[in-house]
Amino acid sequence: MSEVTQNLLGAPLNRRQFLTRSLAASTAFAIPNIIPASALGRGGAVAPSERIVMGAIGLGGRGSGDLGWMLGEADVQFVAVCDVRKANREGAKNAVDGKNGNKDCAAYRDMRDLLGKHTEIDAMLIATGDRWHTPASILAMQAGKDVYCEKPGALTIAQGQALVAATQRYGRVFQTGAQRASEANFIVAGELARQGKLGKVHTVYAHLGYLPDWPRVNAVLPPQPEPSKEELDWDLWLGPAPWRPYNAGFIPQYPSPGWYTQYDFAGGIPQWGSHTILQCQLDLGLADTSPVTYEYPKDLKGAGMTVHFANGLKLVAKCDGWRGSCGVKYEGPDGWVAAADGYEKPDVSSPSLLRDSKKLLQDYLARTQRPLNHVRDFLNCVKSRRTPVTSAEVAHRTMTTNLIMDICLDLKRDLKWDPVKQEFPGDDEANRLRSRAMREPWQV
């Protein structure tokens, strides 16, 4: 090489200048000149590597609300939605496209198409009708997705067992949508009970809601002309439930509950107990078991229904006792506390119980590292692989309580349960009701 090298413009460069400029040029080619702030996570944007890519199945009333909640989280990006009803899936697609600023959200009628085509999805929101919760969740986990599924987590005890097994088999994160487990008033009430501020809690009350006014039935309504599959895929709407002819009366339209009171499509006690009984068991450290005795109620609407845990705790599911819905109440020898939707703060037997309520809440947050946001807890667990606050095991064990209460009502007699073996000791009639037939190909 000569002592002097000519550049493209003919200006002389010595060897040192040439090598210095060559190094600078190679570095410039290695790193892009302009990097969008969004790619680095600056300016309030979330870097792509930190985003959780999501899809959604079931986008009616509750599902659309959950979708809006999740769209409000900065690190969530929805790319696909699915609903058997055209109006629901188009509404969801429009909401996602509006958030993303494009028209790219894919919309499907059949969840199998969504799960099969979108390998980039990390997690699924599932807010279908109750009959679909477990089958859809297991299909999503089989496809490698984490799952946030609305309550109730299962329609039978056998489904709950299958749900827990699927999370273990596929290594997936599962959160059931019992959002009060992440709300301040319910947490404070639970902390008062857990920390002995009430003495040893002996009785808990769970809101039963409207069930006694709208008891479960199993109607087969007169056939009506079936909509086109594009408008409403009736076969997929039924899913694992027994087939019956289409009737618009099965579709909830306020004030008609639609499928909510149908045995084939929903539970009875679980319609409210999946909120409140779950909360009671979680707060009292009993979310890994279920009561051992169940008393058939003489007056469900008045006195409610009573069950007993192995440790002697009594749980009463009843309609009244709160100023709002989805209430819980814990009683001990030193006082009581109650919380429900709409409370500014928990009700207590003595104002002194709430003297340190802020510290109780702060200590809980520090101890558990949980946010006061149920969706956020799920999203954090997707990233960390931690078990969510209302995991599949919590969903299953608390739903078992609900479902045995249903069986007690159906059989019209008291029941005994073994939570270790998960069976009714020596009771073949009751044991047969731990599962129910599921229509092909949706068995779990």
What is the biggest distance separating any 2 CA atoms in the chain, rounded to whole angstroms?
106
141 and 274 part of one domain: no
Q: Would you say 313 and 202 are in contact if contact means Cβ atoms under 8 Å apart? A: yes
* pLDDT attached to residue 149: 98
106 and 188 part of one domain: no
Between vectors from CA 75 to CA 72 and to CA 79, what angle results, nearest 5°?
Answer: 80
409 and 284 part of one domain: yes
The CATH number of residue 302's host domain is 3.30.360.10
Tell me how many domains the chain contains.
2
160 and 195 part of one domain: no
Look up residue 394 and give its two tokens. 């919590």
| Element containing residue 164 per DSSP (H, E) | helix 157-170
Q: Would you say 173 and 388 are in contact if contact means Cβ atoms under 8 Å apart? A: yes
Q: Which of 116, 36, 34, 122 is nearest to 75 (CA)?
A: 122
Q: Residue 61 — left, alpha, or beta (φ > 0 → left; ψ -120 to 50 → alpha)?
A: alpha
pLDDT tens for the chain, 444 residues long, are: 433 333 333 344 443 343 344 434 443 334 344 444 444 454 556 777 789 999 999 999 999 999 999 999 999 999 999 999 999 999 999 999 999 999 999 999 999 999 999 999 999 999 999 999 999 999 999 999 999 999 999 999 999 999 999 999 999 999 999 999 999 999 999 999 999 999 999 999 999 987 777 778 898 899 999 999 999 999 999 999 999 999 999 998 767 788 988 999 999 999 999 999 999 999 999 999 999 999 999 999 899 999 999 999 999 999 999 999 999 999 999 999 999 999 999 999 999 999 999 999 999 999 999 999 999 999 999 999 999 999 999 999 999 999 999 999 999 999 999 999 999 999 999 999 999 999 999 988
Q: Does residue 359 form part of some domain?
A: yes
Q: Would you say 108 and 82 are in contact if contact means Cβ atoms under 8 Å apart? A: yes
- Count other C-beta atoms under 10 Å from residue 383's C-beta: 13
* pLDDT attached to residue 397: 98
160 and 116 part of one domain: yes
Range of the domain at 336: 180-214+268-434
159 and 210 part of one domain: no
Dist. CA 293–CA 291, nearest whole Å: 6
Q: Does residue 231 form part of some domain?
A: no
196 and 326 part of one domain: yes
* pTM score of the predicted model: 0.89
Q: Does residue 7 form part of some domain?
A: no
The CATH number of residue 148's host domain is 3.40.50.720
196 and 134 part of one domain: no
Dist. CA 277–CA 254, nearest whole Å: 25
| Element containing residue 376 per DSSP (H, E) | helix 374-384
